[in-house]
Amino acid sequence: MARHEGRVLTAYGGPMPETSTTVPSPRLHVVDHPLVQHKLTQMRRVETPSERFRQLLSETSLLLTYEITRELALQQVEIQTPLTTTSAPELVDDPVVVSILRAGNGLLDGVLRVVPGARVGFVGLYRDHDTLEAVEYYCKFPPMEGRTVIVVDPMLATGNSAAAALDRVKAENPEAIRFLCLLAAPEGVASLHSAHPDVDIWTGAVDECLNEVGYIVPGLGDAGDRIYGTT
């Protein structure tokens, strides 16, 4: 089993298979914290209602955010405590968060609870059900040049929507980009790494595969529908 930073990279239900699309990469970070895995299991359950699903997703995104922000740059500043003056670390800049609509907003709440000073951008994309390609219908960004950008979308399935969103983000000349998702398929990881080899991926799990219509298996269904109660 391949290891990264002391953690075993796993696919759903066992070790990550060593295939051409799933060979572990130093740019793939699987967050195997017990609380992340427990909450993810509850979200996978077909009987979990939308209200509970949203709560679990918000809680899980908060935990994932701690991991993806681990290496944000710090600077030393002089502060006054109740007892004395001292030098202490604080963030150089808050990251910018970009949500891939609509399902990305399910992760956004937890991210902003951890970094409330972050500015937020949005890319509206839907997946053409015939071609599985991403179609853009909306884009609005805050200034991102020279900043760290965290792009969020619960599912990394084919990777087409994520790659299209990262194309748009890179055009704004950020210093660094990180991609955060709840679940990934091996095909999506390989596709995103091929299109954007400089972007690290953080996820709660890498599942088995995509089915014939591009859904992650075993997965949790359509994340947007599960969040908002649509069909």
- Per-residue pLDDT reduced to its tens digit, 165-185: 999 999 999 999 999 999 999
Highest mean pLDDT among 102-106, 177-181, 213-217, 227-231: 177-181
Q: Is residue 94 among the annotated active site residues?
A: no
Question: How much of the chain, in percent, has pLDDT values that exceed 90?
Answer: 78
Catalytic residue (one of 52, 70, 113, 131) = 131
Indicate if 225 belongs to the active site: yes
Tell whether the model's pLDDT for residue 12 goes beyond 50: no
Question: Using the 8-state DSSP alphabet, how is residue 230 labeled?
Answer: -
pLDDT at residue 23 greater than cutoff 60 = no
Burial of 150 (0-12, 13-18, 19+ CB in 10 A): buried
148 is catalytic: no
Q: What is the pTM of this model?
A: 0.86
Please pick, among 54, 119, 127, 168, the residue that the annotation labels catalytic: 127
pLDDT at 19: 33
pLDDT at 201: 97
Per-residue pLDDT averaged across 128-143, rounded? Answer: 86
* 3 confidence band (pLDDT: 50, 70, 90): very low
Active site residue 198: no
* Three-class SS state of 90: strand
Q: Is the pLDDT of residue 11 over 70?
A: no
Given a cut of 80, whether residue 129 has pLDDT beyond it is no
Spatial contact of 97 and 111, defined as CB atoms under 8 Å apart: yes
* The one catalytic residue among 225, 226, 230, 231: 225
**Beta strand spans in 5-84 (E):** 7-8, 10-11, 14-15, 28-30, 74-80
Of the listed ranges 17-21, 53-57, 119-123, 161-165, the one predicted with least confidence: 17-21
Separation between Cα atoms, residue 194 and residue 214, nearest integer Å: 18
User: Could you tell me the domains of the chain?
Assistant: 3-228 (3.40.50.2020)
pLDDT tens digits for 67-102?
Answer: 999 999 999 999 999 999 999 999 999 999 999 998
DSSP state, residue 166: H
The pLDDT-based confidence of 24 (bands split at 50, 70, 90) is low
Please report, rounded to a whole number, the percentage of residues in the chain having pLDDT higher than 70.
89
